Amino acid sequence: MEIKSPVENHGLYIAYSELHQFVKAVMNNHQKIICPTCGKKNTWYPENLFKPFCSDRCKLIDLGEWASENRNIPGNPMDPEFIREIDNDGDELS
């Protein structure tokens, strides 16, 4: 498809220009996030090894919170019988 000049097809040129600006903005826009540990504003870059945290320190603090059981996922505890069967078989039941 040949794109005509703005004079020949003003509407198509405007639509193309707006689309180009939108795509450019999306490509250059990185999502802004807040570190769950310290609350520092951060940018979500694919290269950031610590995301969603701002640093290795905050990542390790969060891991420590989970390891010390200060954080947990809400829900009912697992059935002790189910846990025993997993321990005996090494696999979940089918």
- CA distances (Å), origin 53, targets 28, 35, 44, 47, 65: 21, 5, 9, 13, 14
- The answer on pLDDT for 89 being more than 80 is no
94 annotated as belonging to a binding site for a ligand:
no
- The answer on pLDDT for 67 being more than 90 is yes
Which residue spans of the chain are classified as CATH 3.30.50.10?
Answer: 31-94
Preceding amide of 52 cis, omega within 30:
yes
Q: Helix, strand, coil proportions of the chain in percent (round to 5)? A: 45, 5, 50
CATH superfamily of 31-94: Erythroid Transcription Factor GATA-1, subunit A (3.30.50.10)
Looking at residue 51, its pLDDT comes to 86
Q: For the chain, first and last CA: distance in Å? A: 56
Q: Summarize the confidence of residues 24-29 as an average pLDDT.
A: 62
- The answer on pLDDT for 17 being more than 80 is no
The most confident of 1-5, 20-24, 50-54, by mean pLDDT: 50-54
35 annotated as belonging to a binding site for a ligand:
yes
What is the sign of the dihedral through the CA atoms of 50, 56, 61 and 66? positive
25 annotated as belonging to a binding site for a ligand:
no
65 annotated as belonging to a binding site for a ligand:
no
Looking at residue 72, its pLDDT comes to 85
